[in-house]
Amino acid sequence: MMRSNVYASLEFGTHSIKLLVSEFINEKQNILFIDEQVTSGIQIGQVVDNGRVYNDLKKLIVKCEDFLAAKIRAVVLMLPSINLTTKTVNYNITISENQVTGKHLKSMFNKVYEQESKLSDKKGEIASIYPNSFAVSKTKKHLDNPIGEATREIFANLELAYVNQKLIFDFISIIEQLGIEVIDIMPSVIGYKRSLLTKDEMQDHICVVDIGANTTTITIFYNQVIHSSETFKIGVKPITDELMEKLGLNFEDAEDLKITHGNAIVKGTNDEIVYEQRQQDGSITYITSEFVANIVEEKYLQIIRVIKRHLLEVGLKNRIHKFILIGGGVAIENFEKLFKNNFGENAAIRSPNLIGTRHPKYSSIISAQYNILYFEQLFAERYEMVVLKK
């Protein structure tokens, strides 16, 4: 049988794949499965080895299905925000039945997609259409969901997100090879809406900084829409690389040393021994927490300089009223303090607060599922994404 209100999302990042299956009961989210699979088949968000991505995705799917004793039938595809552009449009439709239904709203979205896709100046492939607000003809009042409203006409302000067509095709084809349907597409930064960020926060300039292993994405919202979103080829993997090089460690040990003993601020670090390095002559070099912190702080300051330069270039360095920090790279001791030292006190790591995960690398995919719930309600549909095995 089908389980209603159970949603499955695949988020393709710049070097990994995340899978989330969660259930909504009275609009409260319960995580059923969440995990991440690193893949060498994706580099900076682009598929460079289809076979490798297919195999790594299959591992993740099988792990989930075995854990849940269920079959994933369909997913929402979340895309990395590489070369993402957006624009807002206004559309309206006539309601002949004098009452808004999901059928009317779906018809409007299809109309928008068809008309905007034909434009000669389009910025790429339309990846998502997101409603900022609806209004009905008589009262002009703004609505989050106009289903059931008695009106002859409905107006919508919509945000269109564009990405590279090949990016969409590559990821969809890999998913479909596994016999899984893609029922919707959503750039990760669109997924911030409805959960990670509130409407009030998005009214003024708010900046979401997503720091990953290989990239940092800086997304600025204003008046509830994306002002700009840029991805830079700088992340926290260089910390691991330097620890591997200087200490002769393999990737797993270097990553563990970074996570366990890394500190984004050297000052005040206890100079305790965290690793013993045996030399060829039999002597031992003692690696201290201060040694590790020096490497960590230097690399994070490089990321911070990139963020500062970008905000200067877009003319918003002094206009951001709040910074939200997400991604695997922000989960290092004292990073939030280092960020505040450079950008002011109104900055915070925003992690999920759910049983099953509280790691900021999952902030985006968890938030995005509230959008899936919203669209299901908006179109008066029931997404059948997960099938229980008998």
Tens digit of pLDDT for each residue in 233-290?
Answer: 999 999 999 999 999 899 999 999 999 999 999 998 888 988 888 877 877 888 999 9
Residue 15 banded pLDDT, cuts 50, 70, 90: confident
What pTM did the predictor assign? 0.94
Note the pLDDT of residue 138.
Answer: 65
Token output for 304: 């911070």
The per-residue pLDDT for 190 is 96
Backbone angles phi, psi at 338, to 5 degrees: -60, -40
Q: How far is C-alpha 304 from the chain's CA centre?
A: 20
CATH superfamily of 198-349: ATPase, nucleotide binding domain (3.30.420.40)
The average confidence (pLDDT) of the chain is 93
The torsion region of residue 243 among left (phi > 0), alpha (psi -120 to 50) and beta comes to alpha
pLDDT of residue 141: 77
Residue-range domain boundaries for the chain: 6-82+166-191+358-388, 85-163, 198-349
Query: Which pLDDT score is estimated for 120?
Result: 67
The domain covering 6-82+166-191+358-388 belongs, at the CATH homologous superfamily level, to ATPase, nucleotide binding domain (3.30.420.40)
Does pLDDT of 1 surpass 60? no
Residue 187 reports pLDDT greater than 70? yes
Q: What digits encode the pLDDT tens for the residues 289-312?
A: 999 999 999 999 999 999 999 999
Note whether 6-82+166-191+358-388 and 198-349 share their fold: yes
Token pair of 114, please?
Answer: 């068809």
| Tokens 């290092």 sit on residue | 332
Distant-in-sequence, close-in-space partners of 67: CB < 8 Å, separation ≥ 6: 33
Mean pLDDT for the stretch of residues 79-97: 91
Burial class (CB in 10 A: 0-12, 13-18, 19+), 117: exposed
CATH class of 85-163: alpha beta
